[in-house]
Amino acid sequence: MSQLIDDVMDFARGRLGSGIAVSIEPIDDIDERLRAVVDELKTANASREVVTEFSLSARVHCDAARIQQLLANLLGNALTHGADNQAVVVRTVAEGTEAVISVSNGGEPIPSHMLLKVFEPYWRPPSSSPGGGLGLGLYICKQIVEAHGGTVEVCSSASEGTCFTARLPLLR
């Protein structure tokens, strides 16, 4: 319940034009902080395989709590909406001047005409059953990434599965 209220508050802040507030600091152990998020979600989903490939050893100027929230949303989605008999893969890497965080899962792909819609607030596919989430998670991810001057994108196909990739400038 508290998470739902936090999501709605983040949505309201985003909508009021001020965007999600971030407090940027130089962070030297972002991989460790992201690993803590993975460990927490693994504990809550003990039967699921989550593979991690962490190699973001660079310093990242970011709001670490917000980046943890970003990963929690993306990984939570992969576990909820992906196939439960396929591993979820979380990768972090520094590429040039960017930190790249990606989460991929198998399962039914998101139809191509819905790929942009998934980032809209309160959007869930017409086929989704009632009683799930609010459809705010990816909107909040986009707000967090944009507040850091970064981007988030999704690729989805039957052969490759679904992959969300966030790119954040290392320096801010």
Looking at the Cβ atoms of 60 and 67, the one nearer to Mg ion is: 67
- Minimum CB separation of residue 117 from ligand ATP in Å reads 8
Among residues 69, 77, 102, 162, which is the contact residue for Mg ion, using CB under 5 A?
Answer: 77
Nearest by Cα to 7 from 23, 20, 18, 24: 20
- Positions 130 through 149 that interact with Mg ion (CB under 5 A): 133, 137
Looking at the Cβ atoms of 97 and 128, the one nearer to ligand ATP is: 128
Which structure tokens are listed for 170? 């290392």
Is the dihedral angle over the CA atoms 142, 92, 104, 49 positive or is it negative? Answer: negative
Scanning 8-16, 45-53, 61-69, 120-128 for contacts with ligand ATP by CB under 6 A, the matching segment is: 120-128
Is beta strand 88-95 parallel, antiparallel or unpaired with respect to 50-55?
parallel
Among residues 11, 34, 69, 133, which is the contact residue for ligand ATP, using CB under 6 A?
Answer: 133
Scanning 12-20, 28-36, 46-54, 132-140 for contacts with ligand ATP by CB under 6 A, the matching segment is: 132-140
Nearest by Cα to 118 from 87, 156, 75: 156
Looking at the Cβ atoms of 45 and 59, the one nearer to Mg ion is: 45
Among residues 25, 26, 40, 125, which is the contact residue for ligand ATP, using CB under 6 A?
Answer: 125
- Positions 41 through 80 that interact with ligand ATP (CB under 6 A): 77-78
Question: Can you give the binding site for Mg ion, defined by CB under 5 A?
Answer: 77, 133, 137
Question: Can you give the binding site for ligand ATP, defined by CB under 6 A?
Answer: 7, 77-78, 81-82, 105, 110, 118, 123-125, 128, 132-139, 162
